[in-house]
Amino acid sequence: MEETLEFAERAHAGKPQLPLALRLIRNTGVRKRHIVQPIEQTLRHPGLEERNRIYEVESKKRCPEVVEQAMANAGLAARDIDAIIYVSCTGFLMPSLTAWLINTMGMRSNTRQVPIAQLGCAAGGAAINRAHDFCTAYPGCNVLIVSCELCSLCYQPDDDGVGSLLSDGLFGDAVAAAVVRGSGGTGMALERNASYLIPDTEEWISYAVRSTGFHFQLDRRVPGTMEPLAPVLRELATDHGWDARTLDFYIVHAGGPRILSDLSKFLEVDIKAFRHSWATLTEYGNIASAVVFDALRRLFEEGVTTPGATGMVAGFGPGITAEMAVGSWVADPSRERESELLGVAAPYLGRPA
């Protein structure tokens, strides 16, 4: 955090909006973030072509390790994967990295590919829900989810609006993977999912795509979106016969401190219930679609969730979009290690650079 404030003061010295931006950055609760390049390189803009080349190099360098770990946690081999969902909003490849992963990691040639590029931070929840849908349609199949968010490659030195400066102090880089098993395993069994779009808010979180790449645009009304979304989360739980206020665990997107505090208020849930999301925000910053997978990793490592415990996963992002799921914890007594997931499988966040 101290380095971030120092760099911001140096790079945007004299800008009238800088004091406000610095105050907002200090209030994010982010203490540490990780980026794929040294900060000096990150603060320079070598051009869109070079940045996208770095995205390709770094994604291919970092994704295999987390994929191998996620499959090992789920007790599966590469040829057991029936579909790959790849989520990222910070770089562009065509064909998607899914094709490279299939060819490189020994997956079957008939593995389905589902790239998701434009749901931003909501894409982690969306990937979980689409994997759930796939396994419901094709019982017994397994879906690999890969999240690669290299947010630092979207830094724009000339963007000095308060929203841009705040995002520069909030977002971090991360790569994560999870396996959704169609049957068997230990973890959260997905039982119901839903999506919701707040009407007429599509411009609140967006990219302006210019010759210099992606320019992040954030409306000041975004932090207030938990008030209209909390009833939607409550309705999902109610439709499943549960009370959203009394679930045993919550895995939610950590977009910033107000998102978590407002969700606690409007959902009437103790703020401590979001401890895993808070920890992700503090130690990694907002890592976009990877947040929910890191929070799930922390839930696994905590090791106190018992069979039958009820929970919710929720991701929020551009649209304004919410992707939500509810399910209960299950355990496979035939396996010694409880590191698999049925429904939202074995999340593993790679060690950042």
Structural domain boundaries of the chain?
A: 2-181, 189-329
Q: Mapping DSSP to helix (H, G, I), strand (E, B) and coil, where does residue 93 land? A: coil
Write the pLDDT tens digit of every residue in 67-105: 999 999 999 999 999 999 999 999 999 999 999 999 999
What pLDDT score does 53 carry? 97
DSSP letter assigned to residue 350: P
**Which residue type does 289 have?**
S
- In this prediction, residue 348 has a pLDDT band, given cuts at 50, 70 and 90, of very low
- In this prediction, residue 347 has a pLDDT band, given cuts at 50, 70 and 90, of very low
What pLDDT score does 349 carry? 41
What pLDDT score does 186 carry? 85
What pLDDT score does 5 carry? 87
Does residue 320 have a cis peptide bond before it, meaning omega lies within 30 degrees of 0? yes
Does 309 have pLDDT greater than 90? Answer: yes
Say whether 63 is catalytic. no
**Which residue type does 297 have?**
R
Does 343 have pLDDT greater than 80? Answer: no
Mean of the pLDDT values across residues 235-257? 96
Interior/surface letters 157-185, b for 16+ CB within 10 angstroms, e for the rest = eebbeebbbbbbbbbbbbbbbbbbbbebb
Helix (H) or strand (E) holding 221: none
Q: Mapping DSSP to helix (H, G, I), strand (E, B) and coil, where does residue 1 land? A: coil
Closest CA to 39 of 69, 71, 6: 6
Token pair, residue 91, equals 């770089």
What pLDDT score does 334 carry? 58
Token pair, residue 3, equals 């380095």
User: 331 vs 281, which has greater pLDDT?
Assistant: 281
- CB 97, CB 147: distance < 8 Å: no
Mean of the pLDDT values across residues 237-253? 97
- In this prediction, residue 18 has a pLDDT band, given cuts at 50, 70 and 90, of confident
What pLDDT score does 336 carry? 39
What pLDDT score does 353 carry? 31
Mean predicted lDDT score pLDDT of the chain: 91
> Three-state secondary structure along 30-61?
CCCCCCCCCHHHHCCCCCHHHHHHHHHHHHHH
Range 269-274, long-range pairs (CB < 8 A, 24+ positions): 269/244, 269/245, 273/247, 273/249, 274/250
For 2-181, give the CATH class. Answer: alpha beta
Closest CA to 321 of 117, 125, 86: 125
| 120-124, 217-221, 248-252, 288-292: range with lowest mean pLDDT | 217-221
Q: What are phi and psi of 194, to 5 degrees?
A: -155, 160
Identify the CATH assignment for 189-329 out of 3.40.47.10, 3.40.1010.10, 3.40.190.10, 3.50.30.30: 3.40.47.10
- In this prediction, residue 8 has a pLDDT band, given cuts at 50, 70 and 90, of confident
**Which residue type does 54 have?**
I
Token pair, residue 224, equals 């207030």
> Which listed residue (121, 135, 151, 154) is catalytic?
121
Q: At what angle do helices 291-302 and 123-137 cross, to 10 degrees?
A: 70
- CB 184, CB 332: distance < 8 Å: yes
CA 120 to chain centre: 8
Q: Do domains 2-181 and 189-329 have the same CATH topology?
A: yes
